[in-house]
Amino acid sequence: MNTYEIAAIPGDGIGVDVTVEARKVLDRAAELFDFRLQWTEFDWSCERYTQTGRMMPEDGIDQLARFDGILLGAVGFPGVPDHVSLWGLLIPVRRAFAQYVNLRPVRLLPGTTSVLSGRGADELEMVIVRENSEGEYSAIGGRHNTGQPSEFVLQESVFTRVGVERIIRYAFELARTRGGRVCSATKSNGLIHSMPYWDEIFAEVAAEYPEVHSEQCHVDALAARMVQHPDRLDVVVASNLFGDILSDLAAAVTGGLGMAPSGNINPPGEHPSMFEAVHGSAPDIAGKGIANPVAQVLAAAMMLEHLGETVAAQAVNAAVEKVLAEGAVATPDLGGTSTTEELGSAITEALRAG
Ligand code: NAD
Ligand code: IPM
Ligand code: MN
């Protein structure tokens, strides 16, 4: 029987509630599909920061290195500045483990209350391939606080050839296995160094994949297209910041942040990959027990897929679809009155082998 060592970092706010439900679903999947999950839970969070001055211990990365996968809830909560909490946990993990792909599949699931509800799932099936290790997310820059009206800050972006080329190549390889189309999102009309450089590398890599349809889009126009004609998109490749923004937008048009999973992938498999919902800790609903656990359950299914438990992953996806389609158990964001726990249990009970 295959055994997988999994690190769970529930983190902050609703991250804790949805991770409990995702673990419940995965434990049931392990029973049904004959594999073992060995969980180790870490209390790394803003609460821990308040007590110890650190989001994770100094050797936190070393502690995570031995795991087959990481399931992360959400990081960040009022009381600790976001740049402190996120740069103290989430971003260092992504970078230390070279999780340079942030894979964010977007599907129209049944039972959604989105602007697209009423349309079929076949009308929207895309994936955002977000660069996850460099770009606009950079600590390079500085404040020039002079107290004068002329004061300013500088925030640098870093686009390396290796970094840009590998994410674009990943997008093309992925496109080959699915719809055969890649759209690259840039803003070369406004950002005159980084984005034209990205476009050049995109054109170079595209030339190696003549069978894949490629196009370059301005990210602003793409945002509009994602709402009005999402059916014309398949693989969308974007820089760290643009991919971040586009993934919340895509989540919104497919039923909200409660529905959108993501994987921080280290493609060579030399380091653990990390799975999490696209959403954050949702302080506005934290502690109320009403967060939608679907995004985190789907992220957990991505982890199963990544571990090679493909049949179990498909069964988890099918269980989610069944419960959403029936509509009897739904959290408030889906128009219902159920709790996080009730929706998690309904998915667990809907899980079937074979
Ligand atoms: P958010 O995603 O936490 O919340 C945005 C809105 O979506 C809120 O109204 C929230 O209630 C709703 N929402 C999100 N997830 C939901 C769910 N599962 N069910 C129902 N409603 C849901 O974004 P934010 O408010 O900008 O960020 C809150 C905190 O989370 C910040 O500290 C931020 O930095 C952090 N954050 C962390 C991650 C991460 O750990 N990967 C991701 C995004 C934001
Ligand atoms: C996400 C989040 C993070 C990001 C933040 C919290 C740093 O928004 O995972 O989408 O932008 O990467
Ligand atoms: Mn985000």
Q: Which ligand is nearest to the CA of 104?
A: 2
Please give the distance, rounded to the nearest whole angstrom, from the Cα atom of residue 129 to the centre of ligand 2. 14
Please give the distance, rounded to the nearest whole angstrom, from the Cα atom of residue 246 to the centre of ligand 3. 9
Model pLDDT for residues 26-70, shown as the tens digit of each residue:
999 999 999 999 999 999 999 999 999 999 999 999 999 999 999
Q: Are strands 235-238 and 125-131 parallel, antiparallel or unpaired?
A: parallel
**What's the fold here for domain 125-253?**
Isopropylmalate Dehydrogenase (3.40.718)
Superfamily name and number for 1-100+258-354: Isopropylmalate Dehydrogenase (3.40.718.10)
The CATH 3.40.718.10 portion of the chain extends over 1-100+258-354, 125-253
Q: Which ligand is nearest to the CA of 295?
A: 1
Please give the distance, rounded to the nearest whole angstrom, from the Cα atom of residue 74 to the centre of ligand 1. 8
DSSP 43-106: --SHHHHHHHS-SS-TTHHHHHTT-SEEEEEE---TTS-HHHHHHTTHHHHHHHTT--EEEEEE
Cβ atoms of 218 and 191 within 8 Å: the answer is: no
pLDDT at 293: 98
DSSP 42-53: ---SHHHHHHHS
Amino acid at 217: C
Residues with Cβ < 8 Å from 327, sequence gap 6 or more? 111, 336
* Neighbour count for residue 151 (Cβ, 10 Å): 10
**Is any atom of ligand 2 closer than 6 Å to the C-beta of 244?**
yes
pLDDT at 47: 98
Please give the distance, rounded to the nearest whole angstrom, from the Cα atom of residue 300 to the centre of ligand 3. 18
Give the pocket of ligand 1 (CB within 6 Å).
Answer: 14, 18, 74-77, 82, 86, 90, 257-258, 276, 279-285, 291-292, 295, 333
* Neighbour count for residue 20 (Cβ, 10 Å): 17
Q: Are strands 235-238 and 273-277 parallel, antiparallel or unpaired?
A: unpaired
Among residues 233, 141, 218, the alpha carbon closest in space to that of 186 is found at 218
Task: Give the integer Cα–Cα distance in Å for 134 and 238.
Answer: 12
pLDDT at 114: 75
- Give the residue ranges of the chain where pLDDT is below 70: 117, 121
pLDDT at 116: 75
Q: Which atom of ligand 1 is nearest to the CA of 279?
A: 2
Task: Give the integer Cα–Cα distance in Å for 84 and 105.
Answer: 28
pLDDT at 65: 98
**Is any atom of ligand 2 closer than 6 Å to the C-beta of 295?**
no
**Is any atom of ligand 2 closer than 6 Å to the C-beta of 278?**
yes
Where does the chain have alpha helices with state H? 14-33, 46-52, 60-64, 82-87, 90-96, 161-176, 194-207, 219-228, 240-253, 294-307, 310-326, 340-350
Model pLDDT for residues 183-232, shown as the tens digit of each residue:
999 999 999 999 999 999 999 999 999 999 999 999 999 999 999 888 88
DSSP secondary structure code for residue 270 in this structure: S
DSSP secondary structure code for residue 114 in this structure: S
Please give the distance, rounded to the nearest whole angstrom, from the Cα atom of residue 282 to the centre of ligand 1. 4
Please give the distance, rounded to the nearest whole angstrom, from the Cα atom of residue 284 to the centre of ligand 1. 9
User: By alpha-carbon position, which residue is closest to atom 12 of ligand 2?
Assistant: 244
pLDDT at 158: 98
ipTM of the complex: 0.99
**Is any atom of ligand 2 closer than 6 Å to the C-beta of 68?**
no
